[in-house]
Structure 1
Amino acid sequence: MNTKRGSFTMPPRRTRFNQDQYALLRRGSESMDFTEWNRWYAEYLADNLFLRSTDSYGAHLAGADLAYWYLEGADLRFAQLQGADLSYSYLKHANLANANLAGTNLWRAFFAGAELSGANPDAAVYDPAGRIKFDPLHASRLREAAESGNIGAWNEWYKRELSKADGDVRLYGAYLEEASLRNLDLSGAVLCYAHLEGADLRHVNLSGANLSHVHLEGADLWQADLTGADLRYAELGGANLAGAKKEKALF
């Protein structure tokens, strides 16, 4: 119920987390299309301009689980993201102007081209133990295929089990964050959409590998062989490519 003060009608006090807003944002993440969210959000902000400079303005996502979400181009101006988990999230070209990031976990979040003016990323946390989804079974299966020379078995399993499962972007690809894969022969391997953030890929043979849309932020690819590899749409922010062979690789 609204509270009146004289002739002015006060809006109802909002909670710090809004399940409906969270669900709408998640639909955009899963469909990789924020047309609906961005249109609604722009109208929502315009309708609530009088709340600017209060902690009620913007999307109410404090404490939300947004780890691994696809948020490219999402409008999150003035969003309340205190204590949210955005680890490994993909925020390329997202608009986070004036967003509240106090206590938000931004470990391995990807912000290329994102708008952060007026936001407070210095108040965020970078917790590597946040929502890491490293799967030891994925790592052991890949290592076994490489060491046995049967990368084809990995590729068949990967295409069957890990390629765009159920349309949920958080289920795309193998989870190999921080994995140690040094010196392995992964030539011809299918690793599209894989999470290899911070992985040790020194001296790895990735010639002819499918690395499209792969996450290699912070990975060490020193003297790796990327000859003929497909790296289209790969994210390489902070990756070490010193000495890597890149002849005929697709970027």
Structure 2
Amino acid sequence: MKPRDWLLATGTLVFGYLVGQYVQSHFPSSLSPSTDTKTIQPKLTRKGVIRLIKVNGGSKGLDLSAYDLSGENLRNLDLSGAIFSTYQFENKIYRSADLASVNFTDSNLSRANLAATNLQNAGFWQANLYEASLQGVQAQNASFSQTDMRRATLFAARLEGASFWHTQLAGANLYAARIANAHITEIDIKDGLLQEDEQAYNKHFHQWYVHKLPNKYRVRNLQQRHQQAEEIYMNLKNAYISHGRYREASHAYLKERRMRRATYVLWRAKRYHGEVIARNPGFLRWRWLWFYPKYMWLWFFDWLTDLGSGYGERPLRTVWLALFVIFTFPWLYWLSGQIAFADNSPLQWIDYLIYSLGAFTTMDFARFVTTGWIAETIASLEALLGISILALLMFALGNRISRS
């Protein structure tokens, strides 16, 4: 073969190799088998699970992520620490068990890894899911009634149609969970959400199910924890309202507003509300002069609204506020010494109280006269407070009546 032919053949091979590499890198599906087909998982029965627990020497660390357990009855089994889902961070590959319609009644699943599993129509009646990971699960129409889910993570879980009746959720992470259409009744979150306790939330990121996350996610979530709590309470409120649970919705709304107020605190305001100014430091720099006074005023007004009426959800607070004003101002009138009877007869403390009640309701008693500007100023201030408090009371009562 002539040298020219050798060069031509070599050039053709090199060109073909380069074209092949380009096509494979840009159009891999055209040269390799499809990876979209779902891997067939071997079926595992209750007896098989019990056998694997015995072989493993217990349920802790037992990897069941490769099995199909759908429809099985796993009632009253100790599966604490079992692994139903694995995630390869390097290859970004999830492997999770199919747990659709599985009966986990009375089972111990504390600290179990159920992340990204299929839990549709599964039953967890009185199960123990303490510190379990249910991140990203498909749990539509599942039952979590009377389940211990304290400190469990339900981040980004799909819970449409799921039932939470007398479920313990104190310290649970419900951020980004889809609970708008869930059936939530008498859940126990009296100790607050995970995001409300900075120390507990920081500890949460060192737990076994999130400790591999990069540190930047921990810092970002810690800085945004009040906003996350506000969103969770808003979702809870909507879920309650959709099922006519107005008393629970009222409490969730109250907590939602308090979480929003926490973002107005001076040392947090810039973190939560300073994005626009931070992105435009030039022509908006002057706004920093008004930024902190604005959020200080917003926090104070929000605090007063909570104190006076519980954001319109606690009319009894407004009643107590009115009584406080009515019983406090008589002492101010007595100290001023500028309230007297028209006939100059001596005044008793009950007379100052009657005058205070008249000033609060803007009623004028002819038998009382003021003898100086101090008493007149105090009476005007009480009248202004009275008008405001009575208007606030009407608003709070109307709000509660319209909901009930």
Answer with 1 or 2: which has the greater Rg: 2
Which structure carries more helix by proportion? 2
Higher RCO structure, 1 or 2 (CA under 8 Å, sep 6+): 1
Say whether the fold is shared (TM-score over 0.5): no
TM-score (norm 1): 0.40
